[in-house]
């Protein structure tokens, strides 16, 4: 299958909805509309021409482990070299260490393209950017000087080493230990599993960020430290020095993303250095966690776009039966399946979920930028709160969406969708991991309720609702938007009331947090996307009224908004009814009654 970056829709989101040029001017980073469009065009060419052709082969070939060395699929090494040489690796890195400092509102579009072209390829560079964030914020000057420039440039990559066989979500159970040495370093010993890019042949060095316990550490998560443990220890001149005492013991044989090496890493007294304060490892790691979870959300978005493109292309070409009201293409033996209502249902569901998620991704990226780059401290704090509220929704909903949209693609292809050569089943397999790593989607839902909603009594959520309610009020007076605005307004009020009910339920019984969380996250996401579709419709109607051209594009936005509000948004009602069903029906049955 092929992949083509959705440049027109990306420009609509960036320029027409979120004024990315004005955003960049506000951040004082020197980017203007012409430069941004040029970057997007180059990104589209690179991902479509160089990366996408590798995706099928990487799935067939996978990675190979021999004598501790991992070889990546054919073409990955040369493509990664081009990725580094062309400056893509340094796109978001700090300027002080050779990065280009691009804001998230621009870079997210490129990263979506990478995910859509080949998720396996993107895995290798994705965590490096998060590792750079953590090291830049918490590392000592000596560590930053020794490692950051090469990591920013992409010559060296980074990993996150959290998970152990007995410690997944519950990091309080981890056993990897770090023994202090006289020279200020530590000897790190333990085993980590599921380490993306833990060993590979793309970069000169791999810098592992490892969670471990010091000898005198308190029990639980309060006794976890973060250490930098490189494959090769950097020399004083910034080159490659001694090989460290760590190795790849195995690579996992996985359901999907087979071109990405997922490693078992053994640390056998490996030399490492503390990042941040002792026993503050989780706080340091969470610097990169928001970025990592946002990036995983983009994985779902990119895969969803690729699946939609494949399904649309096939639906236009595949001839099968006649339209229900008679022949649409009488000159052909049968009509293309895109004329059939059920195929249209699947395609429009794909299109509206993907494009709606892209709008939410851009909005979240803007908050992440302002969290770090806004001029006023109060504005930075407000953006941080908004980003924190949205990240679990983005991670969970986008990845659920990617799985649904790729499943629709398989269905549109019919029997051919089940066959490997068409590429749809690979997208479905690849997308499945996104619902699991960087915190399962159930964990994201718990985070949304426990830390975000209960954490401030719903004040930030209500502020977000107020923002969209104001949009609905402004749109209600416009005849072309009045119906959509009315539906959105009603849903927003229902969302506000539902949040209050969830808070009350959760405060009365802690098990209600887990019982309501997934459905509340899904409800929230569907209503959020409805708000963005109203914004898109208002922007499209304004363009049509002004006669700015591209009438078909803007009419499609209005049609898509109408479809979403009539055929997708009603799903929210089911989630509301389910969560109000309460915890009792989940917890009442004795465990032994589950037996068969």
DSSP secondary structure string for all residues of 410-469: HHHHGGGGGSGGGSHHHHHHHHHGGGTSSS-HHHHHHHIIIIIITTTTTHHHHHHHHHHH
- The yes-or-no verdict on residue 47 having pLDDT over 90 is yes
Q: Which residue carries 């006289």 as its tokens? A: 182
The C-alpha atoms of residue 565 and residue 72 are separated, in whole angstroms, by: 44
E strands, 32-89, are 64-66, 69-71
List 69's β-bridge partners, or say none.
66
What DSSP character marks residue 280?
A: -
Question: Binning pLDDT at 50, 70 and 90, where does residue 369 land?
Answer: very high
Q: What are the tokens at 374?
A: 């806004």
Predicted pLDDT of residue 145: 96
In tens, the pLDDT along 384-418 reads 999 999 999 999 999 999 999 999 999 999 999 99
| DSSP class per residue in 508-572 | H-THHHHHHHHHHHHHHHHHHHHHHHHHHHHHHHHHHHHT-S-HHHHHHHHHHHHHIIIIITTHH
- Catalytically annotated residues: 438
Residue 363 has pLDDT above 80, yes or no: yes
Phi, psi at 264, each rounded to 5°: -90, 120
Which among 162, 267, 166, 173 is positioned nearest to 209, based on CA atoms?
A: 162
Distance from the Cα of residue 201 to its chain's centroid? 25
Give the residue carrying structure tokens 């060296």: 156
| Averaged pLDDT for residues 138-150 | 96
pLDDT above 90: residue 287: no
Q: Are 424 and 417 in contact (CB under 8 A)?
A: yes
Amino acid 95: pLDDT? 96
For residue 401, which of 558, 529, 570 has the smallest C-alpha distance? 529
What 3-state class would DSSP assign to 182?
A: coil
Structure tokens at 222: 């309060």
Query: CB of 207 within 8 A of CB of 158?
Result: yes
| Tens-digit pLDDT profile for residues 408-445 | 999 999 999 999 999 999 999 999 999 999 999 999 99
The residue-averaged pLDDT of 308-322 equals 97
pLDDT level of residue 169 (50, 70, 90 thresholds):
confident
Beta bridge mates, 196: 262
- Tens of pLDDT, residue by residue over 272-281, are 999 999 999 9
Which residue is associated with the tokens 């790593």? 437
- Mean pLDDT of all residues in the chain? 96
Q: Which of these, 335, 306, 359, lies nearest to 12 by C-alpha position? A: 359
* Mean pLDDT in residue range 341-354: 98
- Indicate the pTM of the whole model: 0.97
pLDDT digits (tens, 9 = 90+) for 4-41: 999 999 999 999 999 999 999 999 999 999 999 999 99
Tens of pLDDT along 179-214?
Answer: 999 999 999 999 999 999 999 999 999 999 999 999
Q: What's the pLDDT at 286?
A: 82
Residue 296: pLDDT band with limits 50, 70, 90: very high
Q: Which CATH class is domain 158-279?
A: mainly beta
Cα distance between residue 224 and residue 172, in whole Å: 8
User: At 213, phi and psi to the nearest 5?
Assistant: -110, 135
Residue spans per domain, the chain: 7-134, 158-279, 440-588
Could you tell me what percent of the chain has a pLDDT over 90? 95
pLDDT > 70: percent of the chain: 100
Say how far apart CA 177 and CA 179 lie, in whole Å: 7
pLDDT band at 168 (very low <50, low <70, confident <90, very high): confident
- Reported as a pLDDT band with limits 50, 70 and 90, residue 359 is very high
Residue 467 pLDDT > 80: yes
* 177-180 and 186-196 strand pairing: antiparallel
What is the spatial distance between Cα 37 and Cα 15, in angstroms, rounded to a whole number?
Answer: 10
Is 170 a residue whose pLDDT tops 90? no
pLDDT reported for residue 1: 74
The answer for residues whose C-beta is within 8 angstroms of residue 260's C-beta and 6 or more apart is: 63, 119, 120, 121, 123, 124, 196, 197
What pLDDT shows up at residue 424? 98
Please check whether the two domains, 7-134 and 158-279, share a CATH topology: no
Residue 290 has pLDDT above 90, yes or no: no
Neighbour-count burial of 300, counting CB atoms closer than 10 A to its CB (0-12 exposed, 13-18 middle, 19+ buried): buried
The pLDDT of 53-74, averaged and rounded, is: 97
Residue 535's Cβ-side half-sphere holds a number of Cα atoms within 13 Å equal to 22
When computed from its CA atoms, the radius of gyration of the chain, rounded to whole angstroms, is 24
Only one residue has tokens 């002004």, namely: 546
Please check the confidence at residue 171 and state whether its pLDDT lies above 90. Answer: no
Does the domain at residues 7-134 carry the CATH identifier 3.40.190.10? no
Measured distance CA(67)–CA(126) in Å, rounded: 26
């Amino acid at each position: 299958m092929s992949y083509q970056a959705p440049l027109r829709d990306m420009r609509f989101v960036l320029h027409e909805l979120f004024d990315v040029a004005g955003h960049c001017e506000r951040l004082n980073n020197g980017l203007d509309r012409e430069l941004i469009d040029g970057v997007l065009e180059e990104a589209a060419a690179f991902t479509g021409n160089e990366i996408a052709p590798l995706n099928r082969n990487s799935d067939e070939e996978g990675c190979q482990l021999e004598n501790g060395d991992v070889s990546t699929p054919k073409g990955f090494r040369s493509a990664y070299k081009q990725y580094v040489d062309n400056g893509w690796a340094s796109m978001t890195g700090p300027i002080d260490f050779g990065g280009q400092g691009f804001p998230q509102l621009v870079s997210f579009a490129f990263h979506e393209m990478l995910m859509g072209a080949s998720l396996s390829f993107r895995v290798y560079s994705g965590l490096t950017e998060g590792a750079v964030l953590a090291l830049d914020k918490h590392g000592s000057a000596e560590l930053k000087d020794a490692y950051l420039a090469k990591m920013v440039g992409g010559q060296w990559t980074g990993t996150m080493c959290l998970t152990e066989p007995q410690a997944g979500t519950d990091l309080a159970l981890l056993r990897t230990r770090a023994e202090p040495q006289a020279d200020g370093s530590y000897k790190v010993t333990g085993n980590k599993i599921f380490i993306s890019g833990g060993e590979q042949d793309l970069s000169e060095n791999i810098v592992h960020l490892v969670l471990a316990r010091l000898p005198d550490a308190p029990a639980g998560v309060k006794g976890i430290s973060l250490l930098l443990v490189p494959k090769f220890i950097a020399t004083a001149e910034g080159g490659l020095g001694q090989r460290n005492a760590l190795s790849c013991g195995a690579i996992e044989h996985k359901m999907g993303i087979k071109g990405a090496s997922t490693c078992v890493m053994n640390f056998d007294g490996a030399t490492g250095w503390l990042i941040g304060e002792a026993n503050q490892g989780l706080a340091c790691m969470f610097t990169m966690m928001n970025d990592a979870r946002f990036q995983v959300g983009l994985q779902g978005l990119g895969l969803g776009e690729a699946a939609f493109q494949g399904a649309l292309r096939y639906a236009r070409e595949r001839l099968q039966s006649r339209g229900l009201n008679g022949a649409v293409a009488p000159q052909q033996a049968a009509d293309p399946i895109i004329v059939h209502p059920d195929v249209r249902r699947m395609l429009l569901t794909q299109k509206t979920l993907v494009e709606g998620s892209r709008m939410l991704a851009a909005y979240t990226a803007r908050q992440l930028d302002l969290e770090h780059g806004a001029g006023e401290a109060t504005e930075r704090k407000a953006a941080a709160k908004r980003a924190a509220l949205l990240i679990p929704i983005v991670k969970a909903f986008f990845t659920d969406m990617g799985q649904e949209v790729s499943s629709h693609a398989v269905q549109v292809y019919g029997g051919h969708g089940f066959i490997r050569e068409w590429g749809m089943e690979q997208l479905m397999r690849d997308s499945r991991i996104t619902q699991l790593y960087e915190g399962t989607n159930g964990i994201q839902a718990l985070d949304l309720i426990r830390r975000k909603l209960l954490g401030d009594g719903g004040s930030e959520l209500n502020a977000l609702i107020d923002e969209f309610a104001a949009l609905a009020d402004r749109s209600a007076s416009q005849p072309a938007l009045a119906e959509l605005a009315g539906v959105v307004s009603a849903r927003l009020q229902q969302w506000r009331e539902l949040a209050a009910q969830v808070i009350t339920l959760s405060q009365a019984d802690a098990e209600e947090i887990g019982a309501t969380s997934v459905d509340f996250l899904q409800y929230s996401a569907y209503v959020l996307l409805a708000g963005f579709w109203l914004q898109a419709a208002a922007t499209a109607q304004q363009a049509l009224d002004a006669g700015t051209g591209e009438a078909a594009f803007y009419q499609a936005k209005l049609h898509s908004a109408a479809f979403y509000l009539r055929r997708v948004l009603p799903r929210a009602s089911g989630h509301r009814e389910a969560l109000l069903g309460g915890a009792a029906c989940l917890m009442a049955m004795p465990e032994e009654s589950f037996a068969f």
